[in-house]
Amino acid sequence: MTDTPQITDSHCHLDFPDFDGQHADIVTRAADAGVTRMVTICTRLRNEPTVRAIAEAHAPVFYAAGTHPMSAADEPLATVEQLVEIARHPKMVGIGETGLDYHYTAASKAIQQDSLRIHVEAARQTGLPLIIHSRDADDDMAQILTEEFNAGAYTCVMHCYSSGPELAQKMVDLGFYLSMSGIAAFPRSQEVRDIFAAAPVDRILVETDAPYLAPPPHRGKRNEPAYVAHTARVGAEVFGMDYAAFAAQTQANFNRLFSKAAAFAEAA
């Protein structure tokens, strides 16, 4: 399907049990849908070897590593040195996901904030983009990321963006990116679509967050990288673009932010 516009699933979790023994088929279905790259995310550093192995086994798969905020209190606190060492791998292309989640785990907000700042410093030192999870923590997120940026620049993507418009604007003002997940394709998510529509199109990525948040027509089922094409078609509508142009724009955006992945693909 060489005429299918190419896109990248910038955030998925291929190490989750939902995909055990199916990685080759998932990569094939993704390619059929035009999804020629995907970034699988390690959310607990003790699982990094497993996530790395998936990236090593499949040419289109890259990976990122960090400690998810909801796990920050249950896992050893990452160190900058540990993250920098992991980042030496040629297919390790992002720091995280990290961030703040006060929805279920507000009791651990102090350790979440400490963990976030460690990941920011690793992003600075490696030059890799920070991958942020944010839920019910808009004020603290804006404050910490702004403070850290003023202390030393770094790049960042707000993954699966579904927070408020004020945080989105502050992140865009810092030069950060917003990633559109299946949430943006849900019928009742007009507010989320409006937030994306107000952002510059050159700061937009698309993702699945698979196995979660499958967009229509697969809503309620297991998500997988191929389905990011459905979200991207909604994104094209949001920005008033045809699908091929929007796909090309998100590819350019991904290559700019995840420059290590783009360079690896070019070298290959």
CA distance 24 to 216: 24
Q: Where are the chain's structural domains?
A: 7-267
Residue 135 has pLDDT above 50, yes or no: yes
Percent of the chain whose predicted confidence (pLDDT) is above 90 = 97
CA distance 131 to 63: 11
The residue type at 238: V
Full-prediction pTM beyond 0.85? yes
The pLDDT value recorded for residue 1 is 42
Structure-block tokens of residue 261: 């992945």
The pLDDT value recorded for residue 268 is 66
Residue 54 has pLDDT above 80, yes or no: yes
The pLDDT value recorded for residue 2 is 54
The pLDDT value recorded for residue 63 is 98
CB 163 within 8 A of CB 145: no
- Where helices occur in the chain by DSSP H, the ranges are 23-32, 48-57, 80-86, 109-126, 138-151, 165-173, 190-197, 228-238, 243-257, 259-267
Max Cα separation, the chain?
A: 50
- CATH annotation of 7-267: 3.20.20.140
Q: Residue 195: pLDDT band by 50, 70, 90 thresholds? A: very high
Residue whose token pair is 């967009």: 215
Q: How do residues 158-190 score in pLDDT, each as one tens digit?
A: 999 999 999 999 999 999 999 999 999 999 999
CA distance 86 to 143: 28
Q: At 66, give phi and psi (nearest 5°).
A: 180, -175
E strand or H helix that includes residue 156? strand 156-158
Q: How do residues 6-39 score in pLDDT, each as one tens digit?
A: 999 999 999 999 999 999 999 999 999 999 999 9
Q: At 120, give phi and psi (nearest 5°).
A: -60, -45
Q: What is the mean pLDDT of residues 215-225?
A: 96
Collapse the DSSP code of 230 into the 3-class scheme (helix H, G, I; strand E, B; otherwise coil) and give the result: helix
**Whole-number average pLDDT of the chain:** 97
Structure-block tokens of residue 128: 């890799």
Residue 222 has pLDDT above 70, yes or no: yes
Q: Residue 114's CB: how many other CB atoms inside 10 A?
A: 14
- Beta-carbon contacts of 174 under 8 Å, excluding residues fewer than 6 positions away, are 145, 146, 149, 156
CB 229 within 8 A of CB 35: yes
Residue 254 has pLDDT above 60, yes or no: yes
Percent of the chain whose predicted confidence (pLDDT) is above 70 = 99
Residue 265 has pLDDT above 90, yes or no: no
Peptide bond connecting 211 to the previous residue in cis, omega within 30 degrees of 0: yes
The pLDDT value recorded for residue 69 is 98
Structure-block tokens of residue 5: 């516009």
